[in-house]
Amino acid sequence: MTNTVQASIESTPPDQTRGDLKLPIYLDNQATTPVDPRVLEAMLPYFTEKFGNPASRSHRFGWAADEAVQTARTQVADLIGASPKEVLFTSGGTEGDNLAIKGAAYAGKARGNHIITVVTEHKAVLDSCKHLETEGVQVTYLPVQKDGLIDLDQLVGAITDRTILVTIMHSNNEIGVLQPIVEIGRVCRQRGILFHTDAAQSIAKAPVNVTSQNIDLLSFSGHKLYGPKGVGAVYVREGVRLSPIIDGGGHERGMRSGTLNVPGIVGLGKACAIASAEMSKEACHTAGFRNRLRDRILGSLDGCYINGSMENRVPGNLNLSFARVDGQALLMGLSDVAVSSGAACTSAKLEPSYVLKALGLSDDLANSSIRFGIGRFNTEAEIDFVADRVIEVVSQLREISL
């Protein structure tokens, strides 16, 4: 969705150090996270010693793999308040969104052909909905308010007797805003409408409970919570039926065929187990650093604006716009910091972030935005270094533009 610009490190060779700091500093944890060493340790045996196919039921290699998969299924379920049998494994968040949205639409077409979503959703959601529109499904795209939150009255007003699915993300990947999931789920549950949420940016960062939050379908990806890339999960509430979008051997209760990625699934399960044990402490850690970064920057620079609600936000996200600064020049100036821009470069043309535009930002402010993603392994010294670098570079660019 955003264009991750890890500034050309030509002027800052990899692993360069400055004092006690190792450069470049990684503050793009919404894009992806490093694999936790504990996760890697859990995965390694399943590449070599325990390499069996969990669908092989006639020997111990298959049994060991299947046992590992079931353990991971329980670990995922425990994190989100589900039953293990309600967890399906996928290749990641994009496939999960496609399966939940298209699968629900195909399975429910006898009941209706209307879906409700939000203009600030991830492209995996928006493009799935656009695909369904080509097949005759009607889609309503709700706007957001200036703080990035939907208006619940608008959601209620958009529901028709043909509405079969509402898909609204748990938290936004650019601005980190947490939607009123409990209330959205309650509206859907009262009307017999399925509620899907893309929780890729919330899992392991904010409490997610499919029961108390009235969620029917939930998708997320392993690499956003210190697990491996190429693996994810979909929660499908018991009794909910999805039409598969991948046909084959009938794996995962017939809803997602294909040989399971056992090492990846083991890693995802371990990442979820770590999150279950440490999420509260980690949230305090990342929120504290996020606030420290925010206060240092805003305390030294004028013309800086926070994008999205600060009250309803995942702990490690900070999205700022800098007036009177070119966003690409700012990124190039921050050559020793890995961050993301709210602007996406498509077809060699700079386009402002559709998420920030939906909040009402001008093109200039949207193009000058930076997303800082603070994670598990960042340190206070790194936060202070980044704050000082942002202040320095923004000040220099403003002087040049005078």
Indicate where the chain has its CATH 3.40.640.10 domain(s): 37-275
Comparing 280-289, 339-348, 361-370, which segment has the lowest mean pLDDT?
339-348
The pLDDT tens digits for 290-313 are 999 999 999 999 999 999 999 999
CA distances from 298 to 24, 86, 337 (A): 23, 45, 18
Comparing 102-111, 229-238, 241-250, 314-323, which segment has the lowest mean pLDDT?
241-250
Sheet with strand 138-142: strands edge to edge: 87-90, 232-236, 217-221, 194-198, 163-167, 114-118, 138-142
Q: Per the structure block, which two tokens stand in for 267?
A: 């890693």
**Contact present, 167 and 116 (Cβ < 8 Å):** yes
CA distances from 282 to 28, 290, 344 (A): 17, 12, 30
- Determine the average pLDDT of the residues in 309-334: 95
Q: Per the structure block, which two tokens stand in for 26?
A: 């990684």
| CATH code of the domain made up of 37-275 | 3.40.640.10
Confidence of residue 143 (pLDDT cuts 50, 70, 90): very high
Indicate where the chain has its CATH 3.90.1150.10 domain(s): 3-36+279-401
Average pLDDT, the chain: 93
* Superfamily for domain range 3-36+279-401: Aspartate Aminotransferase, domain 1 (3.90.1150.10)
pTM: predicted TM-score of the whole model, two decimal places: 0.93
**Contact present, 79 and 276 (Cβ < 8 Å):** yes
**Marked catalytic residue, from 188, 272, 304, 345:** 345
345 is catalytic: yes
